[in-house]
Structure 1
Amino acid sequence: MNNKKELSPSVKDELLGILKTRFEKNKNRHKAIDWDKVLTRLEANPTKLWSLNEMEITEGEPDVVGYDKKTGEYIFYDCSAESPKGRRSICYDGDALASRKEHKPKDSALGMAEDMGIDILTEVQYRELQQLGAFDLKTSSWVQTPAAIRKLGGALFCDRRYDTVFLYHNGAESYYGARGFRGYLKV
């Protein structure tokens, strides 16, 4: 293995087994999508498989939620019940992280996502995810923030309370033990 973003055969096999089991258990998330076609696409994209493994090891529980007919790509979202445990207590982005003089979080949502080779969900994608189940009943997740809001020091996050999805704002440098981020990846 020369490329750090390539899985060993044993890790690859284990991940594919986890993804297949999750896929079969949650058919409501991907009606009319065939696992064998997803598997073929995954096996042809080792770097994307590496990114899915990063989503998995940070407890995001990635699963197929759609298919892009234009590109032929399958869309994976983090489908863990709560914001992924391995991605909490982080601020929004690198500028926010750099602005903290003390009590810095370990990382930022955008920085971690970039390192993992994924993107964080938009508000629209977050609301789409909520159509597939009830997520973030106790936690919240940073979502992509428009440049105009970010320029003024803010960032956006969402959660689900009272059977309703809420969009909120906070200073981008803030971080909380119950706030992380959800990612997506096209394969």
Structure 2
Amino acid sequence: MTNRNEKELSLEQREELLGALKDRFEKNMHRHKGLEWAKVQAKLEDNPDKMWSLNEMEITGGEPDVVDHDDQKDEYIFYDCSAESPNGRRSVCYDREALESRKKNKPENNVMDMAAAMGIELLSEEQYRALQELENFDKKTSSWVRTPSDIRKLGGAIFCDFRYGHVFVYHNGADSYYAARGFRGSLRV
């Protein structure tokens, strides 16, 4: 497992991660039509800090995969592509303010701090909907998404899931947390 105090992977960890990412890339070509693994791998090898973040996504159950390429910035875009919300990132409230506002039964962590510590961005509602265009995710779970500031100022936060053939967007108090709700992230490399 990664030493979370050092944001650098050992050679063995890098090779293991690259193997898992390559395997997932090749098995899910519908997520990244027209992209070549060799170019993705070269970009990853030039960005060890991004590999560390991808490893954090991997070890928390996110199953990151390439979902797009930004031609202008020459960046590959990875999203968590696990069938359900990443298991290692569930039972968390939305942000630190929400966590600190809980008087009883506080969760261990919050989405925004976890994402920042991992070096990833929380998916927006738009990104979540784009992910669902590739295939259907969160059929049994739900995922917090980046909440607009006007909703957050009122104490709320939003989350999404896929039910009945549709993406649904809901709201909860930002301090709520559930065993079946986590979050999905993105990373640009």
Structure 2 length-normalised TM: 0.97
Deviation at 1:101, TM superposition (A): 1.2
2: distance between equivalents of 1:119 and 1:68? 16
1: distance between equivalents of 2:134 and 2:103? 40
Report the 3-state secondary structure (helix = DSSP H, G, I; strand = E; otherwise coil) of the residue aligned with 1:131.
helix
2: distance between equivalents of 1:80 and 1:180? 12
Q: Could you give the per-residue CA deviations for residues 4-49 of structure 1, whole angstroms, max 9, x where no partner exists?
A: 1010000000000000000000000000001000000000000000
* 2:31 alignment partner in structure 1: 29
Structure 1 length-normalised TM: 0.98
* 1:73 alignment partner in structure 2: 75
Report the 3-state secondary structure (helix = DSSP H, G, I; strand = E; otherwise coil) of the residue aligned with 1:145.
coil
2: distance between equivalents of 1:167 and 1:138? 14
* 1:168 alignment partner in structure 2: 170
**AA partner of residue 60 (structure 2):** T
**AA partner of residue 172 (structure 2):** N
RMSD between aligned residues: 1.0
* 2:153 alignment partner in structure 1: 151
* 2:134 alignment partner in structure 1: 132
1: distance between equivalents of 2:96 and 2:71? 34
Q: Structure 2: where are the runs of 5+ without partners?
A: none
Aligned pairs, how many?
186
Provide the identity percentage: 66
* 2:187 alignment partner in structure 1: 185
1: distance between equivalents of 2:70 and 2:99? 34
2: distance between equivalents of 1:105 and 1:129? 27
Q: Could you give the per-residue CA deviations for residues 48-79 of structure 1, whole angstroms, max 9, x where no partner exists?
A: 00000000000000000000111100000000
Q: Give the one of 39, 42, 59 matched to 1:57.
A: 59
Moved over 4 A (4+): none
Q: Structure 1: where are the runs of 5+ without partners?
A: none
Deviation at 1:107, TM superposition (A): 0.5
Asked whether 1:88 is paired with 2:90, we answer yes
